[in-house]
Structures are given as structure tokens and as C-alpha cells.
Amino acid sequence: MYEHDVIVVGAGGAGLRAAIAAHEEGADVAIVSKLHPVRSHTGAAEGGINAALREGDSWKDHAYDTMKGSDYLGDAPAVETLCKDSPKETIQLEHWGMAFSRDDDGRVSQRPFGGLSFPRTTYAGAETGHQLLHTMYEQLVKRGIKVYDEWHVTRLAVSDEDDPEDRTCHGIVAYDVQTGKIEAFRARNGVILATGGLGQVYDHTTNAVANTGDGVAMAYRAGAPIEDMEFIQFHPTTLPSTGVLITEGVRGEGGILYNKHGERFMFEYGYANNLGELASRDVVSRAELTEVNEGRGIEDEYVHLDMRHLGEERIVDRLENIIHLSEDFEGVNPLEAPMPVKPGQHYAMGGVETDENGETCITGLYAAGECACASVHGGNRLGGNALPELIVFGKRAGHHAAGKDMKEAEITTGKVGDYELADVESPVQLGEAGLGGDAVADGGERTDGGATADLSGDEVVQRALDDERETIEHLLEKEDGIQHAEIRERVQKSMTQHVNVFREEEALKDALRDIREARELYQDVYVADKSRTFNTDLLQTLETRNILDIAEAITVGALARNEFRGAHWRKEYQERRDEEWLKHTMLSWNDGEPELWYKPVILEGENKTYEPKIRSY
């Protein structure tokens, strides 16, 4: 059994920043990641980091833009924390040597981005995430922080008290991809989940193959509530053939969207009469799909993004990698012709419920970055707010887990205070149909009836290790059945068809039926590759379980929320309903039977209350 004070799961931007912060507080910290740190998906982030750095801008303006962009579903303490801390953290990156783009006078460059009232997006060409990742990895190496890379975390070791608020996370269980060993990691102070996105729930996504929602699913099954899962961001400019992202920076520099008639439709059809292409992402994505659905799309699939008028010198200087992406994946040189683009799944606004210090309701369990929900982004994330989320909340989670004395959080977690229980009219049974009827896969109640509430931390971790070894042996010993790829493909296609930008009640119910069928099929899943090393078949089978839980959570939340807010559009309810729906959608696993409940949004900030207004761009 490996042992450290703080264990960080995931080595992207949030994980690296959390580990550095915990180390700064004197903790013995280690990162456990299924990828080498510089292969993390943070490296694919192109756009930039929103930070109020210049005269004429302020964190308060940034907070207002963020709250407006969230469609007033962001929690003010988290929003204001992000906007206050981002300038300092951005300057810290610069001091660590991050190669930001510069103006002629030597200042760090900032560009306009969607939904912003000031050009506050700091960037490094069109490869900001790549630069950020390598800058922080250098700091990791400098500090000698231990990294267990290519260790796939499969289970949290959590005690099983009846109320999740009474549970404690003592560590994790992980599979060593290189050797096939399954080992336990004991965390004396805390476990920080920084596992990134969940885009593989969909078949057209900007997310890497590794983004299967592992942290969200493990925390959910261990008893931590998950929040606002229905809010999925579809980025308006992805390449049709692959889902590869074309940065919002193209539009920030002045790129223009056209339909097949050559009309600048964002203005021509009144989708965003003021900001046009730089409206928030949900607005632009809906506009593009409306153009396609009404027959003005190109090949009934996409629209054109044109940046030729910017000139070759400016494009090469600020957007060079976009040229290569377009040429390599679509065969289009954007210096000579417009690029084909369409909306693709990009980001999850929801995730594991946390406060502004990254704490969940389970003692010793933290989350930061895309897998967490504080809630900073509410119903819709603004471009340029994801990377500061990583560094701001990664740092805070690392400090808190390492024992730093911090201000008490204003956001509560778990079923405390003012919350309401609810139901959803599902056409099928929801919840558990895992491996061999294992009702709680990551802690909680054991299938043999044993309890962990009275065990020591070491014993809880050992028992989780024993359970995980049994699960994996079962998979490897099974000789026939259905393979994960067929199950995963069914879910991905259903989610893309039924739980996309435009949502309808019957389509959402069809998705739940498809997910139920996939859950039943998963009971008979087996692993064809019986090898013990680099067994991607085994790992993807385990990931598919996470995809099932996440897909169901997204769809349940979408079916329950009878309104149009942010990225969540319902055909039957095409208006925002503040009197009823200024609240967060919460789901708790409840021993394999998902429980729906709500908690109110916090709109009271430090010096003001963010009054909901009509959101227009």
C-alpha cells in the first residue's frame, strides 16, 4: 500500500496546480494519473485565460459577465472567487515562465472572447492549454513531486455510514497499466479529484478518448452529490469529420460565420444583434443548428467560418495551429477558403458538488476543474473561464487538503440547509445494473454485507482494494458475453441524437430507455484480452461503466428541468422560468437508486446581489 498526505487523481491543469499548492503547504503529495501529465487534455485548450489585468477592467466586471453567461445559475461566492483570484494566478504563470503572446509594448496580450464586456482573454497563440500544462509540469519536476503516471484509478476508498455527510475518503485503488498490478493508495489528509471532462459520453466531441468522466462517476457512486449535470456545452466551432476544436480565438480575432447563401447569419437573422459571432457559446451553437435545420446549412451539416480577411501575417502570428488543424483534418487551407464548422460536445458545466475550497460533503474528498461544480459556470460557461477555473480552484483544493487555514466556505455541500426532494417521470428503472449486481462500486455498502463505518482508514482502503481485485478478476476470467465497445457506441449515438443542443421530452425518454438497455447489457460484459499489461480492453470496459452512470445523470437532469436556461434548451419550455428554476439540479446515488433533489442558487455576492435579467448579446 502506497501512502501520502494528499493524493491528486489526474494530472491536467487542475491536478498539477493542486499538487503544487499542497506541496507549498509542506504536504507529502503525489499525483496518480492514467496519462503522463503532458498528455492530459488540458493541452488541447486553445483559447485563453480570462483575467482582469488592465486599466478599465475589473474583477467585478468579469464576475458580472460570468454570472450573465451562466444564465444566473452560477453561485456568487464561487464566481467572485474565480474572478478575484484569476489575475494573481495568471501573473504567477507568467512568473513561472509561461510563454504568453505579447503586444508590441511588451505587455501580455488580451483578446475579445464570447460574452465578455472587455477584451480580457490572455492567451499564448492558439495553444494556451499546451503552454500552461508544460509550465506547471516544469514546476512539478522542480519540486520533486511524485507522479504515478499510467496508473488508472478505478475506485475510491470511502467509509459507508448511512449519510454521505458522515463518510470519509481514506484513499484510492488504482490499476498499474504497465504491470497489471492493482494497488491501494492511502491518503492521510485527502484525495483531490482532477479527472477532467466526460465528453466520451457523446460520439461527436472535442474531448480526448481518455475523457470518460471517471472522477464524477466514482464520487457519485461513493455518495457525493453531483450537480447540474444537464448543462452540457456544445462548442460552436468544431471540425465536422473529427470533432477537433477550432478555438473561439478565431472569432475573437474577427472571424465570421456564414451560411450557404453567404449571409452573416448571426446578424442577418437576429440571433445576436450586438455581439454577433462573439455571443456566448450556447447562443452561437443554437444559431448554427437552426441554420442547418432550416435549410441554410452547407451539405445539411455545417456552416462556414472565414478568417481570410484577417490577413496571413496576423493569422500565422496568433492562430497558426488552426491552419494545420483545418488542413490536416478537413483538407481546407483557411488562408485560402473558409473552414467547415459545426457544434460539438465540449465541456460539462456540472460535476461533483463542491464548495469554493474544493471540498465535497465527504470528509477528505475534494474535486477541482471540469469534474467539479462549485458552481462557477451555472447554465453556460464563457470561453476563457475554464483555464482560470483549473488554476484558481486547483490551488484552493490543494491548500485546503494540505491543512492550510482558509476562510470558511460560503457554499454548503450535501443535504444541509434549504433543499427539496423531487421525482422525475422516467419510463424505465434508473440506476444500478453494474457488474454482478455490485450496488455501490466505490465504497459504501459491500455486497457481502460487511460494513466499513467502524474500520480504520487503512482497513477501509484494504477492503476497497480487495473488492476491486475481485471485480477485475471476474472480468478477466469471464470467457464470453458482450464487449464494451458495442455498449459504449449505443450510448454515445443515443446521447448525440437525443440529448444534444435541442432537447425534447420524448427524445430524452428514448435516451433513458437506451441507457437502461445498455446497463442490462453491461451485466454480461467481458474482456477479450486476458493479458495483464497495457490491457486497454480492460480499462475501456471499466470506463464504459462510468459513461453509463454519467449519461443517465445528464439525461435525468435534462428531463427534470422544465425550462430553457443557458445550454439547456427544451422544445416544450422555450423560456427561462426564474420563479421555479433558480435552483441547482442535484443527484445522489443512494445505494444504486439515483435520488433527485434541488438546492437554491446563491446570487448574493460580496457587495451586491446579481439580479436575473434577460440575457441578450
Which phi and psi angles does 572 have, rounded to 5°?
Answer: -80, -15
Evaluate whether residue 494 is within a structural domain.
yes
Which amino acid is located at 328 in the chain?
Answer: D
pTM over 0.85: yes
Tally of domains within the chain? 2
User: Are 123 and 48 a contacting pair, CB within 8 Å?
Assistant: yes
- If asked whether residues 212 and 272 sit together in one domain, one would say no
- If asked whether residues 261 and 381 sit together in one domain, one would say no
Q: Please identify which residue in the block is written with the cell numbers 481514506.
A: 170
The active-site residue, picked from 281, 296, 463, 516, is 281
- If asked whether residues 474 and 422 sit together in one domain, one would say yes
Distance CA 409, CA 93 (A): 26
Residue that finishes a domain, picked among 296, 313, 345: 345
The model's pLDDT over 484-511, given as tens digits with 9 standing for 90+, comes to 999 999 999 999 999 999 999 999 999 9
Evaluate whether residue 5 is within a structural domain.
yes
Evaluate whether residue 444 is within a structural domain.
no
Evaluate whether residue 446 is within a structural domain.
no
Distance CA 50, CA 87 (A): 8
Measured in whole angstroms, the distance separating CA 578 from the mean position of its chain's CA atoms is 25
Q: HSE of 568 in the Cβ direction (CA atoms, 13 Å)?
A: 33
CATH number at residue 58: 3.50.50.60
Residue that finishes a domain, picked among 302, 317, 345: 345
C-alpha closest to that of 440 among 459, 468, 413, 462: 468
- If asked whether residues 220 and 93 sit together in one domain, one would say yes
- If asked whether residues 181 and 43 sit together in one domain, one would say yes
The model's pLDDT over 80-107, given as tens digits with 9 standing for 90+, comes to 999 999 999 999 999 999 999 999 999 9
Evaluate whether residue 443 is within a structural domain.
no
- If asked whether residues 102 and 177 sit together in one domain, one would say yes
Residue that finishes a domain, picked among 299, 317, 345: 345
H-run or E-run covering 182: strand 182-193
- If asked whether residues 508 and 578 sit together in one domain, one would say yes
H-run or E-run covering 519: helix 505-522
- If asked whether residues 212 and 286 sit together in one domain, one would say no
- If asked whether residues 520 and 581 sit together in one domain, one would say yes
Question: Given CA atoms 391, 397, 399, 402 in this order, what sign does their dihedral have?
Answer: negative
281 is an active site residue? yes
Which residue range is the domain that position 324 belongs to?
233-345
Evaluate whether residue 445 is within a structural domain.
no
CATH number at residue 293: 3.90.700.10
Q: Helix or strand or coil: residue 330?
A: helix
- If asked whether residues 464 and 374 sit together in one domain, one would say yes
- If asked whether residues 338 and 387 sit together in one domain, one would say no
**What is the distance in angstroms between the CA of the first residue and the CA of the last residue of the chain?**
54
pLDDT < 50 regions, the chain: 436-449
Say what the pLDDT of residue 435 is: 56
**Helix, strand, coil % (nearest 5) of the chain?**
40, 20, 45
- If asked whether residues 223 and 85 sit together in one domain, one would say yes
Evaluate whether residue 55 is within a structural domain.
yes
Evaluate whether residue 182 is within a structural domain.
yes
